[in-house]
Amino acid sequence: MTPAPDLRVEPPRFEHHREPIGIGERTPRLSWTTVTDLPDWLQRAYEIELCDADGAITYATGIVETGSSVLVPWPGVPLESRRRGGARVRVHGRDGSSSGWSPWAWVEAGLLEPGEWRAGAAAPPLELLGAPDGPAVHLRREFAVRASIARARLHVTAHGLYEVEINGSVVGDDVLAPGWTSYGHRLRYRTHDVTALLREGDNAIGATLADGWFRGRVGFEGGRTGVYGDRTALVAQLEVTYDDGTVLRVVTDERWRCARGAVTAASLYDGERFDARLTPAGWSRPGFDDAGWMPADVVAFDPALLVAPVGPAVRRVETLGPVAVLTGPAGETILDFGQNISGRLRIRVHGPAGHTVTLRHAEVLENGALALRPLRDAAARDAYTLRGAEGVEEWEPTFTVHGFRYAQVDDWPGDLGPDSVRAVVCHTDMRRTGRFTCSDAELTRLHENAVWSMRGNFVDLPTDCPQRDERLGWTGDIQVFAPTASFLYDCAGPLTSWLEDLAAEQEEYGTVPHYVPWVPLVFPVGPAAAWGDAAVIVPWTLYQRFGDLGLLAARYPSMTAWVDQVAGLAGERHLWDTGFQFGDWLDPAAPPDRPAKARTDSALVATAYHAWTAHLVAETAALLGRDEDAVRYAALAAAVREAFRDEYVTPAGRLTSDSQTAYALALSMNLLAKPEQRDRAGRRLAELAAFDDFRIATGFVGTPLVCDALADAGQLETAYRLLLQRDCPSWLYPVTMGATTIWERWDSLLPDGTVNPGDMTSFNHYALGAVADFLHRVVAGLAPAEPGYRRLRIAPRPGGDLTSAAAELDTPYGRAAVSWRLDDGVLTVTATVPANVVAEVDLPGLAPVEVGSGTHTFATAR
C-alpha cells in the first residue's frame, strides 16, 4: 500500500486528556485528526495498532470499515495499572486514498484499584497547623536509590494544597494542586514522571502543605472553615522501577517528619505571608538535619475516593508586565497590568533582612485608588519579608490566587524597576480552540473579554468570580456559558470532572445544589430553575460540541433525577410555581441590593426550563436506546409546554410577563404552539427592544437567548441593534468603560466611574458573556449541524454596520473556519471544512448547498 503524499494522520488522542499519563480509564477511547488537501475527503475505514512500552506491537485491528474517527472504542485488552503503551492510526478514504501510519501517541494508566495504594495520609501535628488559613507545613523523608533506574512515578494528592520537591527540584508545574473537588466523594491524584529527578544514592522528597479549600475559609458572608476536615495531610506514593523489574516504594507514613517553614499564613481569599528568613535551607535535599522536626501522624483516609484526573491542572499560563505605574491619591504606588486576570504577582527585590513588601490586589480603581469594597471580606494581600541576600530575591506566592488588574505595592525598598513585578496568569491549562474577530473593534474586544473571563473563572472548576470571598462553582453561570466555553477552549475534561461532583452532591442532598462543590452557607440546599437545570443542559451541550455520547450515558441518572424531582414539584398542573427561585437574576431593572427582583415572573422561567430539560432528557433517552424513557419524557415535555401556554400565553401570542426574557424563553425553548403565536411573540420581543431604546433588559436567564430569539423570529436587525448598543445597559457599555473582562452587572461600574453600590459587584463574571456563542454561530456563521461538528453549518447573517467577521474552531475533526466581508453590496464568504466532515452552506440570496472538505468561496448580492 502506497500512502497518498498529501494525506496524513496526527497522533491519536485518548479520551479528553491533554496529558495522558496516570489516567483512570482502562479502555480509553481514541480520536484522531486527518490532514489533507484532497478535496471532499471522507474516511472509509481505519486501522489501529497498539504497542507496549518497548514498542512491540501488541494488537492490530486490521481494516475497520467506518467513517468514525472521534472517541472510537479502545480496540485492545484493557489497560492495567501503571501500564504504558502506544497507539497509532492509519486511514483509508472513500476515494481510494490511504495514509501512512500516524506517529505513536503514548498513554499510561494510573493506579486503578484502591488496594494498590500503599500510602497512608501523613498529617502534620495539630500544633504546627494553627488556625485555619494559617502557616504552611513542610514534610520530608530521605531514601536511597540504587543504580539502573528504568522509570519513576510519583502518585500524589493531599487534604489541602501541596507542592512537592525531590532533591530540591519542584515536581511538575501544577498550581493549587490537587484542585477542588467534592472531597467527601472524590479526591483527585496526579501522576508525575520523576525519573530525571532521582539519582543513585541518597535522595529526599519533601512537600509543603497549606489549608486551601479543604481546611481554609470558603464562601461568602463569613464563609466556612474546616468544611472537609480539621487536618491537612499528604498522600504520596513514589514508585521507582529498576531495570530488573524490582520496585522501590516510598510512601507517606509515620517516618515522614514535619516543621513549619517560611509561609506563615496562606489563604485563598486573604493572600499569603512569606518570611524568607524562616526558610530551612536545603530541607528537600538529602543530608538535611531534621532532628528537631516532628513526626507526622498517619490519619484515616479512604483510597476508594481517589480518582485520576480527566482534564489538565491549573498552571501558570503566561506573565504580564505592567503597562503603567500610577500614583494613588495618598501617594501609593499602583501598577496597572492592562488586563483583569486570575493569578498572582512575581517579584524580584533587593533589600535588608526583615524588610516586608506588601502587595494588594483589585480589579478596578475608584477615585484613583484601589477599589477594595467589591472584594468584601477577601483581603487579597500578599506580603514578603526579605531574607537580606546579597543578590536579588525572587518570590511568587504558592497557595493563593487573586482576581486583579491593579496591584498596590507598599514599602518597596529602593527603586521599582521595569522588571521588578510581573503578573502571573493562572488557570486550568486548557487548549484554546476557538477565535472570533470582526470589523467592529469594540465587539471584537467584547469577545476577548469573554475569553479572559473564562480564563479567570476556570481555576480548576467553573466559578462565578476569581476575586472576592466567593469563587464558587455556581451552576447557573456555567449552564448559560457552556456553549461559549465549549467553543473557546477544549473544556470537556474539566467540565466532565465538575459534572461528576454535581452528580455526587445531587445524590447526597437529593437535589442539584446552587453551586458545586456544595458548602453550607447562607443558602439552604434546594432546587432552583436555570441553576439546577445545569445537570441536564451542560451534559447536553458537551455532547453537541464534542460528540461524546458516553458522557451523556454517564450523566443520564443525574439528568433524569433532576427532571423527575422538578416534575414532582410541579405536580399534576405541570407548573413549577412554588419554592425559592433566582429567576432572571440581575435583570438590569433590579435594584442593586435585590438582584432577583426581575421583570419576568420566576414561575414562568422555572416552568419554561422544566419543559426544555424534559425535552432534552427525552432526546437523550432516544440516543441511548432507552425507548420507553424517551416516550415518557417526551410526553412530560409536551404536557409542561401545554401547561405553560395555558398559564402564561394568550391566544394571540402575548405573554403574561411582558419582558424580553419571557419572549426569549418562549421562542428559544419552543413553547409556542402556533406559527401565528411565534410570529406575534417575535414582533413583541422586537417592540420591547425598541421601547427600551435597544438597550438590554435581560438578566442571566434571558441574555444568552435574546439575540437568537430575535434572529430566528426574523428580527435580525433588532438583534444587531441590541448587540451593538453602547449605552448602559448593553454588552458594549463595559467595553466603552475600559472593561477587559465581562462584568457581573451591566453597570458594575457606573458612568461616572464609581463602583455600583450593590454588595455583589464583580468585574470578572462570564455569564453575561454567553452572547459570544451568538457571535460564533450567527454573526460569523460557524455552528455544528451534528454533534461534535461531524457536519458543519455555515450560515453567517451579517447585520448592523459590520463589514466583516470571522471565526475559526479546532473541531474534533480539525480546523474549521468561516470569514465574510461586505464590499459594495456583495457578500463574499470563505469557508474551510476539515477532512472527514461535510458542511451545509446557507447564505442569504443563495440556495443551500452541501460541500465537503477543503476551502470554498461564495459570493452573493446583499
Q: Which residues contact 254 (CB under 8 A, 6 or more apart)?
A: 120, 122, 295, 296, 297, 298
CA–CA separation, 630 and 609 (whole Å): 18
The region, left, alpha or beta by phi > 0 then psi within -120 to 50, assigned to residue 428 is beta
Contact 844, 812 (CB under 8 A): no
Cell of 154: 510519583
Catalytic residue among 239, 470, 505, 808: 470
Q: Is 329 exposed, middle or buried (0-12, 13-18, 19+ CB in 10 A)?
A: exposed
Three-state secondary structure call for residue 822: strand
Torsion on CA atoms 848, 39, 88, 103, rounded to nearest 10: -130
Q: At 840, which amino acid appears?
A: E
Any idea what DSSP says for residue 312?
P
Please state, in angstroms and rounded to a whole number, the distance separating the CA atoms of residues 466 and 362. 11
Report, in angstroms and rounded to the nearest whole number, the Rg of the chain calculated over CA atoms.
28
CB 765 within 8 A of CB 743: yes
Cα–Cα distance measured from residue 703 to residue 479, given in angstroms and rounded to the nearest whole number = 12
Q: Which residues of 80-99 are buried (b: 16+ CB within 10 A; e: fewer)?
A: eebbbbbbbbbbbbeeebbb
Instruction: State yes or no: is 744 an active-site residue.
Output: yes
Are the C-beta atoms of residues 770 and 703 closer than 8 Å to each other?
yes
Query: What CA–CA distance (Å, rounded) separates 433 from 811?
Result: 8
Cα–Cα dist 235/306, whole Å: 10
CA nearest 725: which of 695, 689, 690, 687?
695
Burial 682-698 (b: 16+ CB within 10 A, else e): bbbbbebbeebebbbbb
Distance spanning both ends of the chain, measured CA to CA = 50
From the list 108, 396, 744, 808, the catalytic residue is 744
Distance CA 146, CA 833 (A): 55
**Taking Cα atoms as reference points, which of 614, 615, 613, 705 lies closest to residue 659?**
705
Catalytic site residues?
470, 744
